[in-house]
Amino acid sequence: MIKVEWLYWLVGLVLVVMAVQMAADRTNPRRWTSAAFWGLLGLAFPYGTGVADATAHNGGWTLPAEPLGVAVLALIVLAGFNFLGKGEPVTSTAEEREAAATRLGSRIFVPALTIPLVALVCASLLDTSGLFEKGKATLLGLGIGCLVALLVGMLVTGERKLSVPLHSGRSMLEAMGSALLLPQLLAVLGSIFALAGVGTQVGRIVHDVLPDHSKYLAVMAYCVGMFLFTVIMGNAFAAFPVMTAAIGWPVLVQQMHGNEAAVLALGMLAGFSGTLCTPMAANYNIVPATLLELKDQYGPIKAQIPTALPLLACSTAIMALFAF
């Protein structure tokens, strides 16, 4: 049986290899701290095997969680105080890429499409085959899809050296920087909020305000709350753990028995409507305005608000009508 931990070890290995490449890259002004960041992140993946809940029941090796906590804080310090740098990207010139595009044509899309295709096949057809750890077929499908796509990609492009995709991937890693870690850190923050009882408190306030057992009002509170919180923070990922711990999970799923996938997916999308409306989401709204040299930096937001509001209504309505 293929276990999800193997995939985490693969991710860790890829990150450690890229960290070694970074340490050797003299064009990166902060190569040692960059290598420390990605190497530490890579090592945190296999170490996590001994810490994660799922494996503790397997009678597997258990490790204390505190050192991993120290490592996470070290990652936060390295990323938070700008210790991450970039080297000269190892890539092709514009002319080489144009020539390759002419030579390969639309065949270049085949490896890219392989990833979702393999992931879907694993999630739907092979899920019940017993080949994968229970409940992890999709995630493992993604990992296998990437390996298959890498093979297909090297065949299609005629690339022989494995170091080429690794170098290109590393350049993308350097370009993304700490943004790559953000979703996981927000999940961590969400868990700590839950442990400390933040959601329960917001939930209590909502409970006092909401009339009892009013499904429609609770759905509206969750969706509009996601929308407003996202407008304030500029990031649906940051709003999600708070609003879900406050209303989404305790009220809509546990108390009113809503379909959890529907509630959570639509709640997140209600937050995305908020991202369309806020200058706080600078990378989506202000950056395009400056890139396009607009005099009115709110131009894209103005073009998006009349779409975002009906979409908020749609997600609220779909949740109210189909999630219960």
> What gap in Å lies between CA 30 and CA 83, rounded to an integer?
7
Q: Quick count: other Cβ atoms within 10 Å of Cβ 245?
A: 21
Q: Is 235 helix (H, G, I), strand (E, B) or coil?
A: coil
Q: Is 24 helix (H, G, I), strand (E, B) or coil?
A: coil
Q: Which 262-301 residues touch another protein, going by CB under 8 A?
A: 262, 264-266, 268-269, 272, 275-276, 280, 284-285, 287-289, 291-292, 294-296, 299-300
Shortest distance (Å) from residue 88 CB to another protein: 14
Tell me which of 2, 83, 178, 228 binds another protein, using CB under 8 A. Answer: 178
Cβ-based burial of 126 (10 A; exposed 0-12, middle 13-18, buried ≥19): middle
b/e burial code for range 70-100 (CB count within 10 A of at least 16 → b): ebbeebeebbeeeebbbbeeeeeeeeeeeee
Site string for another protein, 111-150 (x = CB under 8 A): xxx-xx--xx--xx---------xx-xxx--xx--xx-xx
Cβ proximity to another protein, 218 vs 231, nearer residue:
231
Q: Which 60-89 residues touch another protein, going by CB under 8 A?
A: 64-73, 76-77, 79-82
Shortest distance (Å) from residue 272 CB to another protein: 5
Q: Please say whether the beta carbons of 234 and 275 come within 8 A.
A: yes
Shortest distance (Å) from residue 86 CB to another protein: 14
Mark the segment that binds another protein (CB under 8 A) among 27-35, 212-220, 261-269. 261-269
How many helices (DSSP H) and strands (DSSP E) are in the chain?
15, 0
Shortest distance (Å) from residue 286 CB to another protein: 10
Q: Please say whether the beta carbons of 23 and 35 come within 8 A.
A: yes
Tell me which of 121, 154, 224, 228 binds another protein, using CB under 8 A. Answer: 154
Mark the segment that binds another protein (CB under 8 A) among 27-35, 214-222, 313-321. 313-321
Q: Say what the alpha-carbon torsion angle 13, 15, 20, 24 is, to the nearest 10 degrees.
A: 150
227 binds another protein (CB under 8 A): no
Cβ proximity to another protein, 27 vs 91, nearer residue:
91
Tell me which of 43, 126, 188, 224 binds another protein, using CB under 8 A. Answer: 188
Shortest distance (Å) from residue 324 CB to another protein: 13
> What gap in Å lies between CA 319 and CA 258, rounded to an integer?
9
Cβ proximity to another protein, 173 vs 247, nearer residue:
173
Q: Identify any residues that bridge with 132 across adjacent strands, giving them in sequence order.
A: 2
Tell me which of 88, 109, 155, 214 binds another protein, using CB under 8 A. Answer: 109
